[in-house]
Amino acid sequence: MKKLALLTLGLAALTFTSSSLGLALDKLSLPDGFSISVYAENVKNARQMAIGKTGIVYVGSRGEGKVHAVVDENKDGIAEKVVLIAEGLTMPSGLTYKDGDLYVSEVSQILKYENIDSTYTKSPQGKVVVDGLPSEKHHGWKNIDFGPDGWLYVPVGAPCNICETVNDGKFDDPMFSSILKVDLSSGEKQWVAKGVRNSVGFDWHPQTKELWFSDNGRDWMGDDIPPCEINRVSKEGQHFGYPYFHGGTIADPEFGEGKKASDYVHPELNLGAHVAPLGIHFYQGSQFPAEYKKTLFVAEHGSWNRSSKVGYRVMMAMVENNKITDYRPFIDGFLNSDDTAWGRPVAMLTLPDGSLLVSDDFADAIYKVTYSK
């Protein structure tokens, strides 16, 4: 577990493209050489994104129950169309794409939309490929993806702020507070990580193939504790401490008595309390400078349970030999000086040209970050 200062060096004013919605991109700062523009507008509650083989970007939503296709028809780097694929779903926040099919997570099941690149305009019907997941909506949003092993990875958040979910009178399901993986050919489920309060973002290290994930710390322990976390799974089935310990060593006042911090895996990095890390993304594109191949981008969605707001930015963690050596802002400025926010970043996606998309479920937008010398 490491505690690193949040550095603000190297940020500069950026070039920006104006928006018909009045998005305040001129308030944002990025490192030298980077610029940001609007890739798509009017993408309601834009959350996790996935790209199809034809370049269509598919987008889940947090509270709208909708899934959209975002289409750059003339290949000019800006999406001209936002097409509604499905609606009336229950919390379809997460999605992923594989072999021409789109997979969408609802709170208690995963749907598959076949041949989505040719059917997205035809109101396709999803087929249930995973069911029987808990139906509790508290922390029920699921970021999903296929791992290097071909299994579908699915987090199941805690159905509460803080509670035990095994041998509990109200919530008694071992799937809560975990990350699972599912073999879609057999339906078999295996534990990836336990003791995970609410992970809404994960990715695999490009060299080691180990899973890294974000986790949101509990509420109502004060402004500055406990920290949110970035974790690494070095062995499947490890327990990361929730609800007994937070940030590795902070005993929970309700559930920590009689427990030992050494029995659980500690975070690779403790973040600020309540910054709400969601999507994390190892950049492997070819457009950014070479050192960014070691960068883990982290979308800090921003606080609600704090007297003054924190987060509301995209950070970059520099990873060397499986250790985070630095953590500093990449996109900053979504939070105004009067403690109001105009944007909340959620997830990242690298396009084939190496540019980076960032979704924003507050501004209903997707931004595009590019680099030029």
For residues 320 and 336, the answer to whether their CB atoms sit within 8 Å is: no
Pairing verdict, β 57-61 and 67-71: antiparallel
CB burial string 84-112: b at 16+ within 10 A, e below: ebbeebebbbbbbbeeebbbbbbbbbbbb
CA distances from 206 to 236, 296, 322 (A): 17, 10, 11
In 56-176, which ranges are E strands?
Answer: 57-61, 67-71, 81-86, 95-98, 101-105, 110-113, 127-130, 145-146, 152-156
Q: Which domain holds residue 94?
A: 11-371
Phi, psi of 291 (to 5 degrees): -65, -20
**Residue 6 placed within a domain:** no
Domain assignment of residue 1, yes or no: no
Q: What is the CATH number of the domain that holds 176?
A: 2.120.10.30
Beta bridge partners of 360: 345, 365
- Going residue by residue through the chain (373 aa), what tens digit of pLDDT does each one get? 444 433 333 333 333 343 445 688 999 999 999 999 999 999 999 999 999 999 999 999 998 999 999 999 999 999 999 999 999 999 999 999 999 999 999 999 999 999 999 999 999 999 999 999 999 999 999 999 999 999 999 999 999 999 987 655 454 588 999 999 999 999 999 999 999 999 999 999 999 999 999 999 999 999 999 999 999 999 999 999 999 999 999 999 999 999 999 999 999 999 999 999 999 999 999 999 999 999 999 999 999 989 999 999 999 999 999 999 999 999 999 999 999 999 999 999 999 999 999 999 999 999 999 999 8
Question: What tokens appear for 201 in the block?
Answer: 């973002």
95 located within any domain: yes
Calculate the alpha carbon distances from 208 to 112, 132, 136, 212, 285 in Å. 29, 32, 34, 11, 17
pLDDT computed for residue 7 by the predictor: 34
Determine, yes or no, domain membership for 268: yes
Asked if 240 contacts 196 with a C-beta cutoff of 8 angstroms, the reply is yes
pTM over 0.85: yes
**Rounded Cα–Cα distance for residues 189 and 11 (Å):** 44
183: how many CB neighbours lie within 10 A of its CB?
13
Q: Is 170 left (phi over 0), alpha (psi -120 to 50) or beta?
A: alpha
The whole-number pLDDT of residue 22 equals 61
Q: Rounded to whole angstroms, how far apart are CA atoms 304 and 140?
A: 18
Instruction: Tell how many helices (H) and how many strands (E) occur in the chain.
Output: 1, 29
The number of domains in the chain is: 1
- Other CB atoms within 10 A of residue 73 CB: 11
- Interstrand relation of 238-239 and 189-194 (parallel, antiparallel or unpaired): parallel
- Residue at 305 is within a domain: yes
Tokens of 321: 């030999």
5 within a domain of the structure (yes/no): no
What phi, psi does 344 have (nearest 5°)?
A: -140, 105
Is residue 2 situated within a structural domain?
A: no
Provide the strand spans (E) within 183-268.
189-194, 202-204, 211-215, 229-233, 238-239, 245-246, 250-251
- Return the closest-CA partner of residue 187 out of 217, 154, 141, 215: 154
pLDDT score, position 280? 98
In a domain? residue 4: no
Cα 158 to Cα 129, 164, 225, 233: the distances in Å are 23, 9, 19, 19
Residue 167: predicted pLDDT? 55
**Sheet strands (E) in 81-172:** 81-86, 95-98, 101-105, 110-113, 127-130, 145-146, 152-156
Taking residue 237's Cβ as centre, other Cβ atoms within 10 Å add up to: 11
